[in-house]
Amino acid sequence: DLFHTVVVIGGGAGGIAVAASLKARKPDLDIALIEPADVHYYQPGWTMVGGGIFSPAVTARTMASLIPTGVCWIKDAVAAFEPDRNTVILEGHQTVRYDRLVVAPGLTLDWAGVAGLTETLGRNGVTSNYRYDLAPDTWELVQTLRAGRALFTQPPMPIKCAGAPQKAMYLSADHWLRQGRLKDIDVELYTVSPALFGVEDYVPALMTYVNRYDARLNFRHTLTRIDGPAKRAWFSRQTETGICETIETDFDMIHVVPPQQAPDFIRASPLADVAGWIAVDPASLRHARFPAIYALGDAIGASNAKTAAAARKQAPVVAHNLLVEMGHLRGAEVAYDGYGSCPLTVERGKILLAEFGYGGTLMPSFPAWLIDGTKLSRVAWLLKERMLPPLYWKAMLKGREWMAKPQRAERTA
């Protein structure tokens, strides 16, 4: 049996950031981080890889280089929880006890949720920016396609980075437009949503690009089956009156975003809410039923946009509240406001910087003269291309919180 005062599950955006935030506040805290993977990915960079702007290598770093100094790495995966005994069970059958637990395992991409998809991924014109090894294929396909039908699909919500399916479409169409090929390529978005984006304020600016690229929007469509060699795709479509029907279509290229769900070991655990996500109080990020447990990142059942930007704001909230509750910090609890961000890459060099919190409230980080989130911005592109990657590696994952508006509190002792 192992014991650590604080145990963090997951070495992704949320897990590394929260471990670093805890260490920044209380350097002598005994923390273990449970993570099976050797590599950590900066997934927000994959849209840029698919658009031919970043090389894949800049989005990957070794896990060992990112786990904060002084944090003990348990290189295994968590299989189960025993919250009443403050214990987690590892896949290697070892148990780890804790005083406080922070859960940040991200979400699971359900590639098998679309019949025929796994067999053809990376071949027959089928690609996805949602995997490190496939994002470069997107750019390859975009460069080689001269004419035909290019489809982009979006699965049921919630998904991580809800804007990513259409970002892939805009960047692809922008390339074809610049190459003079767009007139020969039909661009179509198939989304189960009834609208282009969940927060209305951003829709008008996005629609100017839908019109510029002459992209056809197919709402209420879910990709159910794909036949790569035959280059055909099947969608279930629900009409406004509720009638379901199957639509069959062909493609020359298809960018697929797979259905997404909470990881199985969360869904099957006492931590889950009815939908399978971790049941947290949306403000304090403490578990709804187990006060020794906190959670952040894509796996939580709060209504914020599942983004690394959200995890950036959540990590200091969890670190602060956990240390206050343990008596290591003085002061009141702080609340997460639901902030999430989605830089919508509408063309090479321009971004619509969507930033919003719970209930779709706009939460701009910059004064409107610098970046107005509802308008296209070149400055926002520079932010995404040049600023956000170093901000992620050097500030967020290091517990330096100047962009996360740290909540100040005095340290006791």
Using Cβ positions, the residue closest to ligand FAD within the complex turns out to be: 12
User: Where does residue 241 rank: exposed (0-12), middle (13-18), buried (19+ CB within 10 A)?
Assistant: exposed
Q: How far is the CB of 76 from ligand FAD (least distance, A)?
A: 7
Q: How far is the CB of 128 from ligand FAD (least distance, A)?
A: 8
Considering beta carbons, is residue 43 or 377 the nearer one to ligand FAD? Answer: 43
Sorted by sequence, the CB contacts under 8 Å of residue 160 that are 6+ apart come out as 43, 106, 107, 260, 298, 306, 307
Q: How far is the CB of 313 from ligand FAD (least distance, A)?
A: 10
Catalytic residue among 151, 159, 161, 322: 161
- Distance CA(371)–CA(341), nearest Å, equals 13
| Identity at 317, one-letter amino acid code | V
Q: How far is the CB of 233 from ligand FAD (least distance, A)?
A: 20
Considering beta carbons, is residue 301 or 343 the nearer one to ligand FAD? Answer: 343
- Distance CA(183)–CA(194), nearest Å, equals 27
**CA-derived radius of gyration, the chain:** 22
Residue 244 annotated to the active site:
no
Q: How far is the CB of 403 from ligand FAD (least distance, A)?
A: 12
Considering beta carbons, is residue 80 or 409 the nearer one to ligand FAD? Answer: 80
Q: How far is the CB of 304 from ligand FAD (least distance, A)?
A: 10
Sorted by sequence, the CB contacts under 8 Å of residue 65 that are 6+ apart come out as none
* Among candidate residues 104, 133, 157, 128, the one with its CA nearest the CA of residue 342: 157
* Among candidate residues 347, 159, 147, the one with its CA nearest the CA of residue 261: 159
CB-CB neighbours of 37 under 10 Å: 13
Considering beta carbons, is residue 159 or 233 the nearer one to ligand FAD? Answer: 159
Give the residues lining the site for ligand FAD (CB under 6 A): 9-15, 34-37, 43-44, 46-47, 77-78, 104-106, 129-130, 160-161, 164, 263, 265, 297-299, 306-309, 311, 341-343
- Distance CA(190)–CA(182), nearest Å, equals 19
- Distance CA(174)–CA(182), nearest Å, equals 8
Catalytic residue among 8, 299, 309, 342: 342
Q: In this structure, are residues 223 and 233 in contact, taking their beta carbons and an 8 Å threshold?
A: yes
Considering beta carbons, is residue 167 or 320 the nearer one to ligand FAD? Answer: 167
Considering beta carbons, is residue 134 or 182 the nearer one to ligand FAD? Answer: 134
Considering beta carbons, is residue 101 or 151 the nearer one to ligand FAD? Answer: 101
Sheet holding 126-127, edge to edge: 126-127, 253-255, 148-154, 185-191, 216-218
Strands 148-154 vs 253-255: parallel, antiparallel or unpaired: parallel
* Among candidate residues 281, 13, 273, 316, the one with its CA nearest the CA of residue 161: 13
Q: How far is the CB of 267 from ligand FAD (least distance, A)?
A: 12
Q: How far is the CB of 9 from ligand FAD (least distance, A)?
A: 5
Considering beta carbons, is residue 106 or 155 the nearer one to ligand FAD? Answer: 106
- Distance CA(134)–CA(413), nearest Å, equals 50
- Distance CA(48)–CA(44), nearest Å, equals 8
Structure tokens, 91: 């896949």
Q: Which residues are catalytic?
A: 161, 342
